[in-house]
Structure 1
Amino acid sequence: MQDYLPSVDFLIGGVVVGLILAGVSAYFKRRKLYIIVPKLFSHSELSSSGQVIELNVRNKGARTEEDIRVALNPKLSYEVIASTLPGLTVSHGGVIHIQRLSKSEEVSIVLTAEQGEFLQDSVLSISSKETKGEIKKKTQDAEDTTALEAAIVLTFVFCLCLR
């Protein structure tokens, strides 16, 4: 009867492998919400006293993000000129509201900022109903590195299995 019971080492190994796989799965399903301020235009025919700004909001996560809010410097006045997503609004307090972004979706927003100078630091935060996003200065900072991450994790798991 005792010959049919698995050893303690086998049970511990199974639990460890299960935890590693659960961690890897959670890592790749994590939420990734970014805002990038790639371009600040100091001269424009649209506004003689302000600036034209381009913002990119990206959902690089595996889930849809809803009720996205981008907080900008409240001392400035903003007006949306164009965007790649309809239904985008900017409140008087400098908060951009985006209803939802599907996974891997990106929206570009072009707006004017008046009554002061808009700097890269004028983007204060980005958040959704479920997560707080990150502010990036360059497009390359937010590029998807999932293939590299997957290779590193799989190499780690493979090395553990060889032991």
Structure 2
Amino acid sequence: MRRLILLAALKDGGTPEHCLRVGALSALLAHAMGLPEKRCDMLFDAAPLHDLGKLGIPDSILLKPGRLSPDEWRIMRDHPLLGVRLLGNAGSPVHELAVEIVLNHHEKWDGSGYPAGRLGTNTPLSARITAVADFFDAVTSLRSDRAPLGDDQVFRLLECASGTQFGV
């Protein structure tokens, strides 16, 4: 699985460290929520694969500076389904959790996410946890186009998104 994480991270111009931080943050959040230690460990291993499907997105879209066109956005929104196809059917519990996360991590609490527009608890908790971890790491990490946000800003954003984007 670590090789898949590395491939996915390199494909979208990101870093393997982002993927690994998402795994670590997901496990920490799950632990803080009181989930069993085994489940936290599984999240640590599975959550880094959240954007695996980006391997199937053309570079012209994935690496495009600026906003995507509506057609490009439709293609980008397919990456969860592509990721599930890439993972296939291995059958281990961590693999099954990775499939669940890859498929659902862009769903939103209010049903406005993708690929299925799941509402509330219809999105698995593992994917909701991973979405928060992914968001947190994205906004607190240095990027080529912006500085990381401070803690106060991040917590305000999370609070504002609670009940719409996030439901953990």
Same fold (TM over 0.5): no
More strand per residue: 1
Greater relative contact order (Cα < 8 A, sep 6+): 1
| TM-score, scaled relative to structure 1 | 0.23
| TM-score, scaled relative to structure 2 | 0.22
Larger radius of gyration: 1
